[in-house]
Amino acid sequence: MPASLTPLIPLLSFLLALLILFFLARQISFRLQELTYLLTGSEAMMTLALYLLFLPGIIVHEGAHWLMARALGLKAGKFRVWPKRRGNAIGMGSVSVQRGGVWKDSLVGLAPLLAGTTLVAFIGHQVFAATDVTGAWAQGDWLAGLHALARALRRPDGALWAYALFVVANAMMPSASDREPLRSLLLYSALAGIVYLVLGLPATPFAAALAWSAPFLRQMNSALLFTILLDGVIVASLSLLVLIFAPRGG
């Protein structure tokens, strides 16, 4: 890899980890709904099971919207933490927030992700010592990594903290409405970057920002990788249960 791209590795790894988590969160939601429907035959029970499982994460998600809106001086009104079906999708909660322009709306939309990644990093490192697991695997010692993961989950209240990590990580992703203002922000940012490059302005500020954020991103990436492993185990378990309870043909 060119040396000029090396400073980008922590940032690119962070974005890749978020994409993987987004995919796994959707898979968990689909598999859980499928399993609940197989067991109960009820769409209402399917929605209720999803809601009850992720309720703490839903509260964090909507609470982050509300707090960010208030911090930015925007009016935040109706706070709903209850499932509501919207076509083929299920909305687990919502907050009515006054519009404040592209930048403020984008920050409000990103608030659950910012709060969620902070909590994931805290739980991953302070409770589970995520770097022990990811460090062992980074060195190719998969067995040591698995032992470290097992030790982390066996610690006092390990199951409770694992549940907290699971629900926060899988409820923090921006919804379709959260992502709406981000399109304009990304477009403006891309145009500004192109103009900056065309004018040949110095890249020193960006390099300094990447160097400053690298230690934080590495810590975050370890916690996200730990969460990805946890989600992967849950997806595999749910998929196995779906296969077991699925009706047999013939």
At 87 the pLDDT is: 66
pLDDT of residue 201: 64
Cα separation of 72 and 75, whole Å?
Answer: 9
- pLDDT score, position 120: 94
Note the pLDDT of residue 163: 93
pLDDT in tens, 13-62: 999 999 999 999 999 999 999 999 999 988 888 888 888 999 999 999 99
pLDDT of residue 4: 52
pLDDT score for 38:
93
pLDDT value of position 189: 75
Average predicted confidence (pLDDT) for the chain:
84
pLDDT (0 to 100) of residue 80: 78
Q: What is the pLDDT along the chain (250 residues), one digit of tens a residue?
A: 455 557 778 888 999 999 999 999 999 999 999 999 999 988 888 888 888 999 999 999 999 999 999 999 999 877 778 877 776 677 787 888 888 888 888 899 899 999 999 999 999 888 887 887 777 777 777 777 777 777 877 888 888 999 999 999 999 988 888 888 777 777 777 777 777 667 766 667 777 877 888 888 888 988 998 899 889 989 999 999 999 988 876 5
pLDDT of residue 5: 57
